[in-house]
Copies of this chain bind each other. A is one copy, B any other.
């Protein structure tokens, strides 16, 4: 997605050769116009798949997921990162390792918002080692829901998550795949769009 790549080149910074800071447009300050364009692009890539619901994880996945849900006309569910006393009823949960925080955490979704009739599109801001997607997919398995595809805003193509998920048969669509990055240069993988 050319607009996204342009914004990454202009507004992100690389730290320690594997952390891409996108806090000024994606995961701290959010550019709503860019989110809408991202939503249109995900909707284009997954239209006609019968998707009934978007699933993401709080917090950075919510913005791209929300516009995708708006454009596809389906609800958005965000998995919560710990057991909260204001979730309704029974929960589906899974354990996820966070690359940026270097620790495990639990994610959970209320059984009231996922059913075995759902066809799910997972949306997330980053794909690095794939653990978040695998955790979300584990929740879907517990609910009996079907995973239709995975939409990622920025994939770190130099980490193994993308290959792991694609080799496992997931339909992963990443809007920008970074092949390599340093403080001087970000190189994107050429993608057919």
A residues bordering B, Cβ < 8 Å?
13, 19, 21, 23-25, 27-33, 35-36, 53, 58-59, 62-63, 66-67, 69-70, 73-78, 80, 84-88, 100-101, 109-110, 112-113
Contact = CB atoms under 8 A, between A and B. Distances in A.
Given A62-B63, A85-B100, A100-B86, A110 B75 contact: no
The count of identical subunits is: 2
A66 B30 contact: yes
B76 A29 contact: yes
Contacts of A88: 13, 21, 23-24, 28
A78 B100 contact: no
B100 A70 contact: no
Contact of A70 (B28, B33, B80, B113): B33
